[in-house]
Chains A and B, each alone.
Chain A
């Protein structure tokens, strides 16, 4: 292994970390603005032009807040849980090609950290590990709200993982590869998978809301019942890391959806790259739009939807895809 490769990989990782940490902050700004406009309010508008410096003000506040570790919590696990959430969210970035290959000063850059041939499985697996953040944080808090939130988080995440897995099986049968780059190339020749696998796309999209813990599946930290769920006991930057993890997860799953179902960056031209960013922005906007438009559902409805509606649909989709491909 040569030094140039190691340095290149480290640079790529640092760039991804900085960009997506910043995007998580700007994402909260857009969320507040969009929710405000949908409710005929103005949102943040006093700090800086259009309230843009609100993000920086929030960051300073989170950083300088008193770091409270309540008596009675299991301190070691309590401290490591937010780190796990944020880090596992960013680890999903390894197998995602963010842009097509481009050349800077005669040096070809591949904007993918690790081009592994099991990319889809890797992303699903790392997102599943993200469960350990809420799980350990909630159990270590010794708080009943956190405990209920933890139990819900575990049941929601593991139930909807079955849906993500099953819904991706049908596109995998058509493409025949786990690599996200192969998915992109397949769609250049054969059209978007969104049109040949609409049911799989909708199932995956619904499961994405559950996997990132967004409304209408925001039962994990449902404000009116559970205070802030597993984050109740956290303050300052530790709580902020849970937040960064959640928003980074939203961005990465938007990238995955755009690459898997919506053509990705196409043939790799500049227009294709801009189209990919536009698709990601659209998916991120829909996350916020749904939050403004839909109420939360009950935990029993969530389980009903997962096991009795989405799972049979996903299995039927696999069987139909199989028959269509055989004939």
Chain B
């Protein structure tokens, strides 16, 4: 299959963005109108509160275990490395041995950081006790 040559290929992406967000937002509004007209209404207090299995409902403060932040940091580290590797992979045949050896050194540095994180226990799931 040959490529589809147009002046502005990203215009389609923009249109898709506008139309999908518009269509799905309109769907929620339509559903709200339909349910207002058809559904039984019930404003009982407990029903409208947040879901809970028995105990009295309290609003949760958005506190998450620090374990998850460690994974986020690792992700930042490795994903930035991968972003560097994408242009190299595309031009792999062009760069030849020079590019390959450079990338091997880059991967070596990455591996040192990875082994350090592993040994430090950043990849374990810690017990919160």
Contact = CB atoms under 8 A, between A and B. Distances in A.
A172 B93 CA distance: 11
Nearest to B18: A13
Given A10-B15, A14-B19, A115-B5, 7 more contacts: A97-B1, A101-B4, A143-B51, A158-B71, A162-B79, A162-B82, A237-B31
B12 to A, nearest CB: 3
Given A79-B28, A237-B31, A241-B28, A114 B107 contact: no
Contacts of B5: 115
Interface residues of B, number: 75
Interface string A272-305: 0000000000000000000000000001100110
Interface of B: 1-13, 15-17, 19-21, 23-25, 27-28, 30-32, 34-36, 38-42, 47-52, 57, 59-60, 62, 64-65, 68, 71-72, 74-75, 78-79, 82, 85-86, 89-93, 96-97, 100, 103-104, 107, 110-111, 114, 118, 123-125
Given A113-B13, A308-B123, A181 B51 contact: no
Contacts of B111: 315
A176 B92 contact: yes
9 contacts: A63-B35, A83-B24, A93-B16, A143-B60, A165-B82, A172-B86, A184-B1, A304-B125, A319-B104
In this complex, the member of B7, B23, B42, B103 whose beta carbon has the largest number of chain A beta carbons within 10 angstroms is B23
Helix, strand, loop or mixed for chain B's interface?
helix
Interface residues on A, range: 35 or more
